[in-house]
Amino acid sequence: MKTIGMIGGMSWESTLSYYKAVNEGVKCRLGGLHSAKVVLNSVDFAEIERLQHLGEWGKTADILSDAAVSVEAAGADFFMICTNTMHKVADEITARVSIPLLHIADATAEQLVSDGVKKVGLLGTQFTMEQEFYRGRLTDKFGIEVVIPDSEQRACVHQIIYEELCQGQVNTTSREAYLAIIQDLQAQGAEAVILGCTEIALLVSQQDTKVPLYDTTEIHAKAAVQLALS
């Protein structure tokens, strides 16, 4: 079994979901008392969040690069950045280590392609929804058309992530707002919707809507188990 390197803490609520998912995945595959071999470096999200909103992406890259170096030194065979947004600086991080990155957008896109989804809605932070590092990768590398909410809806999605979900708050009114946005994305032709922030699955799940949802935390963790046991 390969050792999974995790860069977590962004936020710790979703990192908890990652840790549970990879261990359940390994146990499901191997049975008995088996669990995943994991090296975790969990950063202080307050520091990362402040730099994000200041546009200091280079400084966030330095913090996460140091984390990647540490998990490699601790014996990780590959690593994951346990958040969608910070894949904005994935290239800077991978340049600092020799172990491969299991990219969250690639894992998600491969599942979409496998399922025959050609047009998808994307929910996430404003950084993820509006910038090209994520949706551009889905389109350029995998040929998937991406639609996003309008500006007011994007601001709503972003605010709920940072002010509620990252702080462990799950509110019914926020769930209803997200579900309405998901319906709007379907009306724009989206065949499915990516939950492109690792906290969103804390708020909405497949049982809440008939629109197919792709939980990036679940997909990323499943891909990690597959790679660890390959």
Cite the active site residues: 83, 197
3-state DSSP: the chain helix, strand, coil percent, rounded to 5? 60, 15, 30
Query: At residue 72, what is the residue type?
Result: E
From the list 68, 73, 110, 88, the residue with the least C-alpha distance to 222 is 110
Preceding peptide of 98 cis, ω within 30°: no
Cβ contacts of 157-162, under 8 Å, gap ≥ 24: 157/123, 157/124, 157/125, 157/126, 157/129, 157/181, 158/125, 158/126, 158/129, 160/203, 161/124, 161/125, 161/197, 161/199, 161/200, 162/49, 162/125
Count Cβ atoms below 10 Å from residue 22 Cβ, excluding itself: 24
Q: Kindly list the distances between the CA atom of residue 118 and the CA atoms of 107, 142, 147, 151, 193, in Å, as whole numbers in the listed order.
A: 15, 9, 11, 23, 11
Strand, coil or helix: 118: coil
